[in-house]
Every structure is written in C-alpha cells, then in structure tokens.
Amino acid sequence: MPSSRPLRHLISLHDLAQSEIDDLLDLSLRLKQRPGKATLAGKTVGLLFFRGSLRTRSSFEAAMKQLGGNTINLTASSDFWELESGAGTVMDGRAPEHVKDAAAVLSCYVDALAIRTKPSGGAWAVDRRDADIRSWAEHARVPVINMESSLWHPLQGLADLMTMRESLGELRGKTLSFVWTNSPTAASPTAVHSLMHAALRYGMQVRVANPAGYELDEDVWRRAGALASEHGGTATSCTEANDAIRGAHVVYARSWHSLEDYGNPTLAASRRARAGDWLLDERRMALGDEAKLMHAMPVRRNLEVVDSVLDGPRSLVVRQAENRLHSQKAVLQWLLRS
C-alpha cells in the first residue's frame, strides 16, 4: 500500500539528516514517557529474517503492537526461500524467485518491510557491499527498514544514542570507547559501525581498542576520520583496552571477527586463542571517568564482562535493550504515520 509521500528507507543512519536523528531521539524519549497511543492502527509491517534474531524481533513486534499496528513474520523456517538478485539472470539455479518480484508482491500486503539479511560469510569484499538489503530497497514500493545487514545496524545505533543522551546529556566532547571482547561466538561490528559514525556526527571523541588483526573495515574507518574532522571530534584506535578506557565516559564492549580470517573459522579460532585478555572487570573500568558500560547483548558473563560490572550501577545494558523498544516506535511512527 504505497502512499503518496516520497519513499524513504532506513538502511544506515547516514540515510537520516542530523535534524531527523535529533527529532527521532526526542520522539523516542517522549514515547518512553507516554507509551500509550495507537497511532498505527491498521498498519502492518512485514518482518523478513534471513538470519535468526531474538531481541530485535521481539522488540520490533512489541513496538509495532504497542502502537496499535500488526506484524507479519514472513520467514518462519518453513517459508524460507532463496532469492535471486542479479539483473537479467536466466534463473535456472536454486533460487525460484527474484527479489524484484518478492519485493513487489510483499509491498502489496504490508506498509513497510523490516529485513535482517544473512551475510554470505564468503568474502568480506563482497559482503560489505550489502547487496541484499540494497536490492530490497531498490525493488520495494514501501519503506525498507534494516534490522541488521553486513555493515550496519541502524536500530541498535539509534537505541544506543538515545541511551547515551539519557545518561550523559550533551554528547559533544565526551569520550566513547569501543573495546573488543573475546567471545567464542563473536557478534559483528555492525553496532559499532552505526554508533561510531552517529557519535562522530555529534562531535564525540571516539576510540576503538582491539588486538592487532581485528581492525575495522577500512572504508568505515576512513569515513569515521572524515566525520571527526567535519564535526570537531576525533577517531583514534589502539591495541590495549586500558588505553581506550582511560578517561572515557562510555565503555562499549563488543566482540567481532577478524576481517583477515573472514569466512575461515579455523584461522579465526586460532587467531582468537592468541588475542589475550580483554575481560572487562572492575579494575579496568575504574580507569574511566565514572565510565558507563554499554553492550548490545547477548553478553557472555565473566568472559566478556564480569558480573559485578554488568550488574553494577554504571551498567546501561538493560536500558539499551529497553530503548530498542522506544526508539523503534519512533522510527515506525516517523515512517508510517499517515
């Protein structure tokens, strides 16, 4: 049910003007105070999960339902299907359907499509192009919302920004330190990418600490430098957790794979075994400036972060998760309210 407004997608926070992010954060905070109104009655969002999800799916469904709207899960495992995305392909392979057709059809049934894509896991140079989510956005006739692609996690980024604004107030000049953690089931750097760039647009001092070999994507990092210059912040990296934490206002823990071993689990496990101690404990956190702890979850307790820090007064981790609900309600209301 396409509307007459220009079609907007949310693939990355770069799709939003700074004033729009400001408005969304204000709306998120208002919705957190007064959750009640059924402003999206009669609206339906289709959810496509090409990869599993617990927190994203449940917070997204709850957001839509609290606003009086509906969700349709389009990819229960029995419905799963492979899609072709190349233009002009003779479709004699495994995929029985083209994204072009699936997107056109589903656009007839729902008011927006929220999509989590599955990276091929083969080559980072390919996956980083985010061809899947971009193909959906190209062919859909309703707004496409990125629920995490290879490169971005804008909904997590927005919830994290909201959480920092609640906790720190003014963000300009404050220090946000991303600290790598050593997990046997590494998450991904998407939440770091989205929040890092957004924080730099707010003039924050951003640091990233990781073992050698775990450097972030070159282009993401180059863009970070440019955003720092443009908005009066900084973007620096180091290879010691303590260097990043010293004087920081926020310590954001996150595990991610080495891009050098991308798609090679054996090499990845071997490299991880040599990465050393990155556990966030009381001693390390004490180096910060009354630093808050953030983590996008799931978190491996006492392996990534010790219990006393996670459950202590400076932990924002549950609040971050709660704010997924409120900030997604803001996004949905912004995109779908007639």
Between 4 and 77, name the residue whose CB sits nearer to a second copy: 77
Task: Tell me how far, at minimum, the Cβ of 200 lies from a second copy, in Å.
Answer: 28
Place of tokens 């040599």: 274
Task: Tell me how far, at minimum, the Cβ of 312 lies from a second copy, in Å.
Answer: 14
253: left (phi over 0), alpha (psi -120 to 50) or beta: beta
Assess 253 for contact with a second copy (CB under 8 A): no
What would the two tokens of residue 224 be? 């970070």
Around Cβ 52, how many Cβ atoms within 10 Å? 10
Sign of CA dihedral 191, 113, 18, 325: negative
* Cα-based torsion angle of the residue sequence 91, 97, 99, 105 in order, rounded to the nearest 10 degrees: 140
Which residue stretch of 74-82, 192-200, 268-276, 329-337 sits at the interface with a second copy (rule: CB under 8 A)?
Answer: 74-82
Which residue stretch of 77-85, 124-132, 220-228, 233-241 sits at the interface with a second copy (rule: CB under 8 A)?
Answer: 77-85
Of 17, 33, 54, 313, which lies in the binding site for a second copy, with binding defined by CB under 8 A?
A: 54
What would the two tokens of residue 102 be? 């699936």
Assess 84 for contact with a second copy (CB under 8 A): yes
Of 24, 317, 330, 331, which lies in the binding site for a second copy, with binding defined by CB under 8 A?
A: 317
Of 286, 300, 337, 338, which lies in the binding site for a second copy, with binding defined by CB under 8 A?
A: 300
Task: Tell me how far, at minimum, the Cβ of 116 lies from a second copy, in Å.
Answer: 10
Between 12 and 111, name the residue whose CB sits nearer to a second copy: 111
Task: Tell me how far, at minimum, the Cβ of 190 lies from a second copy, in Å.
Answer: 17
Q: What span, in angstroms and rounded, lies between the C-alpha atoms of 48 and 73?
A: 7
Which residue stretch of 12-20, 30-38, 142-150, 189-197 sits at the interface with a second copy (rule: CB under 8 A)?
Answer: 30-38
Backbone φ and ψ for 44, nearest 5 degrees, come out as -130, 135
Assess 46 for contact with a second copy (CB under 8 A): yes
Q: What span, in angstroms and rounded, lies between the C-alpha atoms of 69 and 151?
A: 29
Assess 4 for contact with a second copy (CB under 8 A): no
Nearest to 147 by CA among 158, 138, 161, 139: 158
Which residue stretch of 9-17, 18-26, 229-237, 319-327 sits at the interface with a second copy (rule: CB under 8 A)?
Answer: 319-327
Of 4, 19, 33, 77, which lies in the binding site for a second copy, with binding defined by CB under 8 A?
A: 77
Say which residues have a Cβ less than 8 Å from residue 110's Cβ, sequence separation at least 6.
1, 44, 45, 46, 72, 142
Assess 91 for contact with a second copy (CB under 8 A): yes
Of 2, 26, 30, 89, which lies in the binding site for a second copy, with binding defined by CB under 8 A?
A: 89
Compute the radius of gyration of the chain from its Cα atoms: 20
Between 19 and 77, name the residue whose CB sits nearer to a second copy: 77
Q: What span, in angstroms and rounded, lies between the C-alpha atoms of 274 and 286?
A: 26
Distances (CA, A) of 289 to 59, 236, 314: 32, 18, 11
CA angle 173, 177, 182 (to 5 degrees): 175
Name the DSSP letter for residue 301: B
Q: What span, in angstroms and rounded, lies between the C-alpha atoms of 161 and 152?
A: 15
Assess 278 for contact with a second copy (CB under 8 A): no
* x/- track of binding to a second copy for residues 92-111 (CB under 8 A): x---xxx-xxx-xxx-xxx-
Assess 294 for contact with a second copy (CB under 8 A): no
Task: Tell me how far, at minimum, the Cβ of 72 lies from a second copy, in Å.
Answer: 5
Judged by the rule CB under 8 A, the positions of this chain that interact with a second copy are 1, 35-36, 38, 42, 44, 46, 49, 51-55, 57-59, 61-62, 65-66, 68, 70, 72-81, 84, 88-92, 96-98, 100-102, 104-106, 108-110, 183-185, 297-303, 307, 317-318, 321-322, 325
